[in-house]
Chain A
């Protein structure tokens, strides 16, 4: 065996020789500054904490007020019958919102069927094929997510209702899907970007095809973010009214329309129904958010 090479390190030229006195002087500068500024830094830290603590109730207050108002005014309307019965004609007491629940369910189902898979494929495309086309898609997604929902409603009306000459849940689902799609695309892409290049290269170096790495490594790694992003986009879509205005045959076929319609009626019964529906809708959004959190948490926990 060879004698091991000596590892003398030549430091010449690496750093100007400063002498111990200079080092000591610099040390003093830093220590001195640290000591003199500690009071200021401590105050700044405290002030920041106070601001943060104050911000929490300010942010939570509207949410809590909204929840209290909806529950207190809507709870009275709730009953099994309210959920299970069809609406009665205006002015006639009794009846429920079953048609609106079913209608909203159908609309959401169509929206999911359109937006979720499409959102995944488009995000995969953006990830896999960076370039001018991807940039253009990304840009239009950003523009789309800023388009007022009423315009999306008119768009769906023009594309579907006018052409086929009838209102339908499909058209409404289409409108909601179009509304949710850009949010989902961007959320999916962001989630996929959090998967590190190291893992991507690990997959590629094992002989996997790009598409396989995109699926088994990138998408799988991004799943918590993808699920959260999609469910939050869905929660946003569930509460939309405007896209349904031009696409649903009757306000009794969607919860948000029913709220809009009944809340503006002079009859106390109708107003009660509106609050009750609002409560059901709020609960639905809450449930979606909780599911989003839980799924993301469970998926994350499995990796540790």
Chain B
């Protein structure tokens, strides 16, 4: 079963990868020129999010354990690994979404120097500093395109009409969506295509000016062209926002990320982090044999 999962997953990606790859050489080059060679591990701008010995369990079932990981500020960190190894669980621990789904988080997670699970932390305030983009585009169907973008601001108590308008437009520009939607801001959000809806969700997350953006397989429901657009967007956004990107697509990880964290399932089917480091290094010379096996497609 385990092998089956991993094999089908990577197998499926294999095909889409080839497609995107041929169409997206330029993007790859752009990324290459952006990342200076010999960049230090620590990240040029310090650390935005720190996970220290984090384990996440649902009832008796431990999903992932002993994750120690740093998200360098204003860089893209890709989280890769086979299905069920706890990537989503780790992501949702960072903005405390497990508070509502019965997941228990042990260990320490810090946003800057703030203890995310500290007793004096209000989860709502914390979440307003962290944006999240989900696997399936989920714009609010009852709201117009523009109301979707500014919904987060409204939820956080911003009432000033001019401010809402300015920040909403800025977010749409940031998500490279403005030219597409500028003439139909007041149409229902569901009239957009899937890829546009996903970018709308990114705009919605960006509107609250998050310091960290958590993206959980944001392209998995999208075709190669829409995927390429979102990848461009991710590259464009890094440098402003710290991004954690979960992906099953090694090529995508190679294209857009500065760092890679590789998760695998341990002997007892509990997820664990096996290797983390700069993307080039992890893909070229993985220090862990299991990583090497995974990134080259031979999953043990």
Contacts and interface: CB of A to CB of B under 8 A. Distances in A.
**Do A and B belong to a common assembly?**
yes
Interface of A: 1-15, 196, 198-199, 201-209, 212-213, 216-217, 220-221, 223, 302-304
Nearest to B188: A303
B155 A302 contact: no
Most buried by A among B141, B154, B284, B296: B141
Nearest to A205: B132
Contact of A10 (B7, B142, B190, B191): B7
A10 B298 contact: yes
Contact of A6 (B126, B130, B296): B296
Given A9-B11, A10-B297, A202-B139, 14 more contacts: A2-B284, A4-B250, A4-B283, A7-B297, A11-B7, A202-B138, A202-B204, A205-B130, A208-B124, A208-B155, A209-B155, A217-B140, A217-B142, A303-B190
A132 B126 CA distance: 30
A211 to B, nearest CB: 11
A202 B142 contact: no
Contact of A9 (B97, B130, B142, B297): B297
Contacts of A212: 155
Contacts of A5: 250, 254, 283, 295-297
Most buried by B among A201, A207, A223: A207
A207 B156 contact: yes
A7 to B, nearest CB: 4
Contacts of A303: 141-142, 188, 190
A177 B283 CA distance: 68
A223 to B, nearest CB: 8
B284 A198 contact: no
Interface stretch (B13-21, B46-54, B104-112, B234-242): B13-21
19 contacts: A1-B28, A1-B280, A7-B10, A9-B14, A10-B3, A10-B298, A12-B3, A201-B97, A201-B134, A202-B140, A205-B97, A206-B127, A206-B128, A206-B152, A206-B204, A208-B156, A212-B155, A220-B142, A223-B142
Contacts of B298: 8, 10
A207 B152 contact: yes
B77 interface: no
Contacts of B162: none
Main secondary structure of the interface of B (DSSP, over half): helix
Interface in B112-169: 124-132, 134, 136, 138-142, 151-152, 154-156
A1 B257 CA distance: 12
A8 B3 contact: no
Given A201-B134, A206-B152, A3 B10 contact: no
A216 B155 contact: yes
Given A1-B280, A7-B14, A7-B250, A206 B156 contact: yes
Main secondary structure of the interface of A (DSSP, over half): loop
Interface of B: 3-4, 7-8, 10-11, 13-14, 17, 21, 28, 31-32, 95, 97, 100, 124-132, 134, 136, 138-142, 151-152, 154-156, 188, 190-191, 201, 204-205, 208, 250-251, 254, 279-280, 283-284, 295-299
A201 B101 CA distance: 10
A2 B31 CA distance: 12
B134 A302 contact: no
Contacts of A8: 296-298
A1 B27 CA distance: 12
B181 to A, nearest CB: 16
B140 A4 contact: no
Nearest to A213: B155
Most buried by B among A15, A205, A208, A304: A205
A206 B296 contact: no
Nearest to A303: B141
Contacts of B31: 1
Contacts of B97: 201, 204-205
Nearest to B294: A5
Given A205-B95, A303-B142, A2 B17 contact: no
Contacts of A14: 3-4, 7-8
A304 B188 contact: yes
Contacts of A9: 7, 10-11, 14, 297
Given A3-B284, A7-B10, A202-B140, A207 B125 contact: yes
Contact of B251 (A4, A201, A208, A304): A4
A11 B5 CA distance: 10
Most buried by B among A5, A6, A213: A5
Contacts of B131: 205-206
A95 to B, nearest CB: 50
Contacts of B32: 1
A101 to B, nearest CB: 37
Given A13-B3, A303-B142, A304-B191, A204 B100 contact: yes
Nearest to A13: B3
Contacts of A217: 140, 142
Contacts of B124: 207-209
A303 B142 CA distance: 5
A220 B126 CA distance: 25
A2 B129 CA distance: 34
Contacts of B132: 205
A303 B14 CA distance: 37
Contacts of A202: 134, 138-140, 201, 204
A2 B201 CA distance: 32
Given A198-B134, A207-B127, A2 B297 contact: no
